[in-house]
Amino acid sequence: MNRKENGIKVKKLLVIVLTVSIMLGVPTITNVNSYISVQDVYAAVKINKKTARVLKGEKITLKITGTKKKVIWLSNKKSIATVNSKGVVTGKKKGTATITAKVGNKKYTCKVTVEVPVLNKTSITIYTGKSYQLKLNGTQQKITWSSSNKSIATVNSKGKITAKKVGTTYVKAKVQGKVYSCKINIIKDVTYSIKKDNNLNKVINRLNSYCVAESANKPQTKNTEIKLSNKNMISIASYVRYNFNNDETFTKNELVNTVKLLFGKSITNIELGNWIRKAISYDYTSDPYVYAGGDWGNYCAKYNILKIIETSNNVYKITIDGNMYCYETGKMKKICTVNLYIKKSSQSSYGYIVTKCNYKGTGVGYF
């Protein structure tokens, strides 16, 4: 039943009471319509919200209904929330403010809480088949969760992510029209499935040994990225030729082929003189771009695969312990931790090529 119908019934009732009162000589209200309209006005005027939540930078609109009188809007904490002449409230910073609407001598208030939501993670890495609970903290409003690629990762109504397959996607949390995104990287642990691949081990052994040699010559504890420039690839190729093929002298073609074998790239402008001289004289140097290898004597580089992760289709990150073994003492020392990034490729007879390499030394050196 609406207000109009209620008003009609009340009027009818008052007419009956008025008639009876006149017959009985009881004092009466002579202006029924005026009385009813005044009561209706006071009963109808109200504010549409007594409490509200708004995000920082977002807006909500408050309204006064039941009157045509001028409404004056005020905020008691403009640094937290402002309000314009039309009742539009803007969140400024986290906190609570009271918005007041003045209509004549009457005041109507709304308690406004300004929220600043924050995702607990903006980028995460998950193994296939695993889950992660993403949270949007700092809000009590309804959150709508979605994934930009459900075939890679899904998310439920509470923000729980489930990794489906290798790849990258974004999970989004939406509140009041504002979107918060988290980058999701899905990788696959393939350590046990390809750890015994002989071709893979050849690549790992050569690159790991080079990193062990670099770390042993320059003891340090920082992360060092080996940039695969032409000079650096020639350096590694020289090292591999000398230490794995027992070549004291090698040709330009042999270096080119070794680079191709490890990196799937062809290089030119090789100056052989310095490389051959470095290898024959067993000359160690701290310059990684001209280090060609040396006589290890009673020392041998060893490696231990810690984990192999498939970061995308046929691309792998291999984490290795780089160790130095001394035959005289029979002891092994960890020299560095190596991260090799490789991918399957027909460009190398090994079936894999190196795309990136870095290591972190332990600070223990042998030379």
Contact at 8 Å (CB) between 158 and 132? no
User: Lowest-confidence range among 132-136, 179-183, 301-305?
Assistant: 301-305
Residue 90 predicted with pLDDT over 90: yes
What are the distances in angstroms from CA 204 to CA 38, 263, 307, 326, 358? 90, 12, 12, 20, 12
Helices (H) and strands (E) in the chain, counts: 7, 23
What's the mean pLDDT in 51-66? Answer: 94
Query: For 205-232, what is each residue's pLDDT tens digit?
Result: 989 988 888 887 777 788 888 888 887 8
Residue 23, pLDDT score: 59
Q: Band of the pLDDT at 27, cuts 50, 70, 90?
A: low
All residues at 6 or more sequence positions from 96 whose CB lies less than 8 Å from its CB, including other chains: 77, 80, 111, 112, 113, 114
> How sure is the predictor about 89, in pLDDT bands with cuts at 50, 70 and 90?
very high
pLDDT for the residue 178: 93
Q: Residue 13: its pLDDT value, please?
A: 58
Place of tokens 């060092």: 224
For the cut 70, the answer to whether the pLDDT of residue 184 exceeds it is: yes
Nearest to 210 by CA among 258, 170, 159: 258
At 203, list the tokens.
């690549």
Q: Helices in 186-330 by DSSP H: which ranges?
A: 191-194, 198-217, 230-245, 252-263, 272-281
CB-side neighbour CA atoms (13 Å) of 95? 14
Q: Is the pTM of this model over 0.75?
A: no
Of residues 242 and 233, the one with the higher pLDDT is 233
- Arithmetic mean of pLDDT over the chain: 82
Bigger pLDDT: 327 vs 315:
315
Reply yes or no on whether the pLDDT at 284 is more than 90: no
> Binning pLDDT at 50, 70 and 90, where does residue 16 land?
low
Of 267, 205, 199, 264, which is closest to residue 235 (Cα–Cα)? 267
Which residue(s) pair with 315 in the sheet?
A: 312, 343
pLDDT of amino acid 137 = 97
Question: How many Å from the N-terminal Cα to the C-terminal Cα in the chain?
Answer: 95
**198-217 and 252-263 helices, crossing angle to 10°:** 110
